[in-house]
A = this chain, B = another copy of it.
Amino acid sequence: MSPSIPRPTVPTVLPPEYGPPLTAAQAARMMKAAEDVANAEGWPMVIAIVDSSGSLLMLHRHDQAQRASVDVAIAKATTAVNFRRETRVFQELVAGGGLGLRLLGMPHMTPLEGGMPILLEGKVVGAIGVSGMHSTQDEYVAKHGLAAIGALQA
């Protein structure tokens, strides 16, 4: 560490580690719970689930869900797992303006509420992304998916 290079004063915040991949059985339980709430509400949606490698594990598109939501749901899920953060965090930073606006230039980062990493035993095992309705409704559905496998954070 060169004394001539001023050390930044921001605190070090380490994100959760990556864990083993979500299983297909876990994804199916998440998907059912998420679809149940979407169907109960009458919301046509696309729900995508990726594993800890960022690879697509399961995707369901409902009748009359907007077609663009296929890519959006996958993008929310991959953003959540590759950055190990809820996509809502990025949305809020962008909405705050100023420095947050730079995030719009981040490659492969979709700053739209509705993508959530899946944490089991403190490790990122995958992510869920939901698209099709208002983003707060998207996240509401995503949370039901997390709850179905005990992965909803307090």
Contact = CB atoms under 8 A, between A and B. Distances in A.
A2 B13 CA distance: 31
A84 B13 CA distance: 31
B52 A53 contact: yes
B17 A64 contact: yes
Contacts of A55: 53-54, 61, 67, 70
A50 to B, nearest CB: 9
Contacts of A61: 24, 55-58
A25 B104 CA distance: 34
Interface in A107-136: 107-112, 133-134, 136
Contacts of A139: 8
Interface string A43-82: 1100000001111111111111011101110010001011
A94 B84 contact: no
B102 A42 contact: no
Contacts of A56: 59, 61, 70
B43 A12 contact: yes
Interface of A: 1-2, 4-8, 10, 12-15, 17-18, 20-21, 23-25, 37, 40-44, 52-64, 66-68, 70-72, 75, 79, 81-84, 90-91, 94-95, 97-99, 101-112, 133-134, 136-137, 139-140, 143-144, 147, 152
